[in-house]
Amino acid sequence: MQIEIVPNVNEARSDNFINKTVIVIDVLRATSSIVTALENGSEGIIPVETVSEAKSFNIKNELLSGERYCKKITGFDLGNSPLEFLNHDMNGKRIIMTTSNGTRAIQKSHKAAHVIAGTILNASQCAKKAIELKRDIVLMCAGTQDKFSLEDGLCAGLIIHELNQLQEEEIQLSDFSSAMYLSFLQAKNELQKTILNCSNGKKLCKMGLKEDVIFCTKQNEYSVVPILRDNIMVSM
């Protein structure tokens, strides 16, 4: 089983995903929010690219969520905070979601055989389910704009670590995958501190969202693995 990593969404080339499982990773905060939403009873998350696309839905039993520049979009029910998702009643509801990088990464993966969402919260189960899908794996780090984000790289390294633990398949790592695996191993005892000090961690702390960052670094807190089916992220 080959493991590759896309360092940020702008480097995603969708033809490279054919026949593969893409694990979309946006630790701060889109995939963490998606995982939390499903754990908290949501029926599914519909990722859309633009604010106007989100607004164009004929809302019945859905919630609108999303951010731009880390802030909730005016008029939306929810922003992109997993803690907000945790504390909101979303039982049986679907969520229409648009974020700067994470939902775009999901949409760019549309040629993959399978698209699932990976986070620090569900890394162990995510690795287990990815093995079950029996395809080569692309870990797609959403990043921020056209830049690599450390928290996504470390989560990719953690998922590789979990894949290695399972030892059900021989894992072949690309050079970039090896680098992220090494980074995770070095940071693993200080994962929360490292992420609080990376670029997005610092930015969110400055905006008063430190608790969100801390929540997103909880390792293997959840067992749900979101998978894209008919353009909706549902529990696998």
Q: Which residues bind a second copy (CB under 8 A)?
A: 7, 147-150, 153-154, 174-176, 178-180, 182-183, 185-187, 194, 198-199
Backbone angles phi, psi at 98, to 5 degrees: -135, 125
Q: To the nearest whole angstrom, how small is the minimum distance from the Cβ of residue 202 to a second copy?
A: 10
Which residue number, 122 or 194, has a Cβ lying nearer to a second copy? 194
Q: Which one, 154 or 163, has the nearer CB to a second copy? A: 154
Shortest spacing between CB 175 and a second copy, in angstroms: 4
**Quick one: 62 or 152, whose CB is closer to a second copy?**
152
How many Å apart are CA 181 and CA 149, to the nearest integer?
A: 15
Q: By C-beta, is 138 or 154 nearer to a second copy?
A: 154
Report, in Å, the least distance between residue 161 CB and a second copy.
12
Nearest distance from C-beta of residue 197 to a second copy, angstroms:
8
Indicate the residue among 170 and 230 with the shorter CB distance to a second copy. 170
Q: Report in angstroms how near the CB of residue 157 gets to a second copy at its nearest.
A: 9
Token output for 31: 């995939």
Q: Which residue number, 109 or 194, has a Cβ lying nearer to a second copy?
A: 194
CB 209 → a second copy: shortest distance, Å? Answer: 18
Place of tokens 């802030």: 71
